[in-house]
Amino acid sequence: MQKKELFANEEDEPKLLLTIILIQLVAMVGAILMSRLAKRIGSWWVLTIAVIIWIFICIAGFNVQTQLQFYFLAALVGLVMGGIQSMSRSTYSKLLPATKDTTSFFSFYDVTEKIAIVIGIFTFAYIEEQTENIRNSIIALGSFFVVALLALLYARNAVTQRLKEIEKRD
């Protein structure tokens, strides 16, 4: 079985580097936009919307056929990636109990983030290796976002109530 790749040639490497730079630059914009949106609708809603966009990105990634589509999707990835990283950290910090020692809480956050990265990369690579199709790996990652969406929906009342308590206190 022969794989059709969007960037199959060695001369395409600068294009991939451009993609990485695009993602990083757009991520800064995403962090700013999602922060402003959170002030209007709340951080729980912004996180939920970002996870839904990630699910859309995975579905769209499964269907990408051209380099131009890939670039548009990379820009969307950057936008959501920057926003969800900043929003999840700030929301997490708001949910912490009042204490001077936040180091242990953020250490826990960092460890769980690293574990999630390892699980995601392993799953992606394992599924691609077994099926010989990177598109199946993209759908598998989408399933992680579906689980995240369900967790956000489950925690909605507790999170929004805690955030309102903190707003009243401040």
Question: What CATH number did the domain enclosing 52 receive?
Answer: 1.20.1250.20
Decide if 5 is inside a domain.
no
What pLDDT digit, counting tens, does each position of 7-47 carry?
666 777 788 888 899 999 999 999 999 999 999 998 889 99
Decide if 6 is inside a domain.
no
User: In which band, very low, low, confident or very high, does the pLDDT at 73 lie, cut at 50, 70 and 90?
Assistant: very high
Q: Quick check: 100 and 45 in contact, CB under 8 A? A: no
Residue predicted with more confidence, 122 or 3: 122
Q: Tally the domains of the chain.
A: 1
Please state, in angstroms and rounded to a whole number, the distance separating the CA atoms of residues 66 and 57: 15
**Hey, what amino acid is at 99?**
T
124 burial level (CB within 10 Å; 0-12, 13-18, 19+): middle
Please state, in angstroms and rounded to a whole number, the distance separating the CA atoms of residues 90 and 106: 11
What pLDDT digit, counting tens, does each position of 108-167 carry?
999 999 999 999 999 999 999 999 999 999 999 999 999 999 999 998 888 888 777 777
Residue predicted with more confidence, 84 or 166: 84
Tokens coding 50: 């970002």
Decide if 2 is inside a domain.
no
Decide if 152 is inside a domain.
yes
Q: Which domain holds residue 96?
A: 11-169
Longest CA–CA span in the chain (Å) reads 61
Decide if 20 is inside a domain.
yes
pLDDT of 51 higher than 70: yes
Decide if 33 is inside a domain.
yes
pLDDT of 58 higher than 80: yes
Task: Mention every residue, 6+ apart, whose C-beta is less than 8 A from residue 50.
Answer: 34, 80, 83, 84, 87
Decide if 1 is inside a domain.
no
Q: Quick check: 90 and 70 in contact, CB under 8 A? A: no
